[in-house]
A and B are shown apart, each in its own frame.
Chain A
């Protein structure tokens, strides 16, 4: 056996990743995602943020959040993040590994204040709303991508209806000193169990969501990654505030003309998981791309992956080979997500 890599993180609880994954899709799980970076920015930073982010920041309504990304001059993604507007400030949640980078970049343009004393919990799954109602009835009335400030016990919490599993759920930013007590309140609700980072990863993969540093990074653009939906019309060509963010020429050009490669879902034949980094070949054996995520989808009950392929091959059911331990394994391109999203969008 080779070394079992270094597992310092709460990758799983005793029930194991498969059970935690399935529990999240059928009931509700609580994840501690406090390693992610939280920062508070003044409302007046919106214009400055539009010079960094390829999204509409100025018109973001109060108590709403949106997915966004920081880009570089080549159109590559420096980080993906959640941007929210509270009543009197803006709020961002960035990836743990990019905290230092992002906060330094933001600080050059506005008064970003990292919130090192705030923890972050994610409550995810079809029974999340019921569990939330048991802890904070008012929070449970939120709809997808809405947020609000609520008291849970004596704690001042910023709760959004969002998450990264493809399920309905909530993310709760709260004082670190209250985190354990409130986590136990959630775990005391019917149907809620703890889940680790392993299940979080397999859930987000099944939901077709990108993991920074794997599926997206400085070498991938939002268009290649299939994230152009996050760029509102106002920031696109002909929009009132078109461009003006790093890499706008590249990104807006790709929106119009298409990108040479595209992120796709991949399903291999057989049961062996695909792994990140494996090469993808076309039917003639020519290199056509590379896997950026691979794993086992507990809900689809089989191995799945994501990767980038030449755009001509990025159509569902197009046939490729993943080179696994030197041997080609047939894969088909799959539409994303692998499991339908079940966000609570409320009545139309």
Chain B
């Protein structure tokens, strides 16, 4: 249940119940972005299509988008990032999570990269 799946765009998703999942950005992504100073999270209740811009990440170096790895409806956001965006740098796959989705179709998660496939892509 706790296994991460990744996208080629450096988001991760973790299934938390049969039809909900948490989303964030990978360790590689936070490292590339550098110190993150702001995250604009989606509104709760918003429906996101797979690949749609879901959150905006602002670091001291750049602005970047976090896309929805799969389709679903936003059911929770990590409000603690408003005061402590540095959590994304410190613990990107833990307390630096962005938002949780009620999934349209949990099978969309299965076809994403697993950790070893994602690592292999990074190493290329």
Contacts and interface: CB of A to CB of B under 8 A. Distances in A.
Interface of A: 1-2, 4-5, 7, 11-12, 16-19, 198, 202, 271-273, 275, 295-296, 298, 303, 325
A320 B107 CA distance: 47
A250 B90 CA distance: 52
| B25, B34, B66 — most chain A CB neighbours (10 Å) | B34
B35 interface: yes
Given A272-B40, A273-B37, A303-B37, A1 B25 contact: yes
A63 B82 CA distance: 50
B58 A5 contact: no
B44 interface: no
A274 to B, nearest CB: 10
B38 A325 contact: no
Contacts of B67: 1
16 contacts: A1-B9, A1-B29, A1-B66, A2-B64, A4-B32, A4-B33, A5-B62, A16-B35, A198-B34, A198-B60, A202-B60, A271-B82, A272-B38, A273-B37, A273-B63, A296-B58
Contact of B58 (A2, A4, A12, A272): A272
A1 B60 contact: no
Contacts of A303: 37-38
B76 interface: no
Q: Is the interface of A mostly helix, strand, loop or mixed?
A: loop
A245 B57 CA distance: 46
A296 B11 CA distance: 24
A1 B68 CA distance: 10
B85 interface: yes
Given A1-B11, A17-B34, 12 more contacts: A1-B29, A1-B57, A1-B66, A4-B32, A16-B89, A17-B35, A18-B35, A198-B61, A273-B58, A296-B35, A296-B38, A303-B38
B10 interface: yes
A18 B60 contact: yes
Identify the 9 closest CB pairs spanning chains A and B, nearest first.
Answer: A17-B60, A18-B35, A296-B37, A4-B32, A272-B38, A1-B9, A271-B38, A1-B10, A16-B35
A326 B23 CA distance: 25
- In this complex, the member of A7, A16, A275, A298 whose beta carbon has the largest number of chain B beta carbons within 10 angstroms is A16
Nearest to B29: A1
A271 B65 CA distance: 17
Interface residues of B, number: 26
A1 B36 CA distance: 14
Contacts of B38: 271-273, 296, 303
Nearest to A273: B58
A109 to B, nearest CB: 39
B56 interface: yes
B25 to A, nearest CB: 7
A4 B62 CA distance: 7
Contact of A325 (B56, B66, B85, B89): B56
Nearest to A2: B64
B34 A271 contact: no
Contacts of A17: 34-35, 60-61
A12 B33 CA distance: 11
A19 B62 CA distance: 17
A103 B29 CA distance: 41
Nearest to A12: B34
Interface in B1-34: 9-11, 25, 29, 32-34
A18 B40 CA distance: 20
A204 to B, nearest CB: 14
Contacts of B62: 4-5
Interface string B35-51: 10110100000000000
A223 B90 CA distance: 44
A225 B29 CA distance: 37
Contacts of A298: 60
Given A18-B60, A198-B60, A1 B35 contact: no
B35 A271 contact: no
Nearest to B89: A16
Interface in B60-88: 60-67, 82, 85
B64 A271 contact: no
